[in-house]
Amino acid sequence: MRRMPPTKRRMPVALHRLPLGSPLQILLLACSFALAGYAGVRLLADDWFGVALWFVGAALLHDLVLVPLYTVADRAVIRGSDAVGRRAWTPYVRVPAVLSGLLLLVWFPLISGRVAERYRLGTGLSSDVFLGRWLLITAVLFGGSALLLVLRLRRATKLRPPADH
């Protein structure tokens, strides 16, 4: 076995060049860490225990309740679309459902009407408007998705050559 002299040994590839990115990427990353640190300090200054409890509760709720729920719902959509032979339609249900669910998750206290006074002061609105607006946004999301599906199907039928009888 031939050994290279110590002066000509090559460094391992991982140590040879660090993947740092451009200076702009590094600057943006540093700014985002600084902003996240500032927001964390401000958030934890008043009620650190309540914030920590909320994060742990949200993680447990998501992992133990919401993941099984939307997995079952997604499997039902897939089975239903397989039953009619239209599995390609699944994303047209998934995308608006995920966006609507995300809005519900983020704005649940306001949508459900269980609003603390500080939410009302922060938004400047009464809690009566949020349920209607969420339902309207959900209807627009599903309607837009249905419109895209119809346009896609229409274009596919125009591009398809006519069947010979």
Residue 68 is part of which domain span? Answer: 47-85
Contacts of 20 (CB under 8 A, 6+ apart): 26
Does 70 share its domain with 115?
no
Threshold 0.85, pTM exceeds: no
Contact 105, 93 (CB under 8 A): no
Q: Are residues 58 and 118 in the same domain?
A: no
What confidence tens digit (pLDDT) does each residue in 72-115 have? 988 988 888 887 777 788 889 889 999 999 999 888 888 887 77
Structural domain total, the chain? 2
With beta carbons less than 8 A apart as the criterion, state whether 26 and 20 touch: yes
The verdict on 103 and 150 lying in the same domain is yes
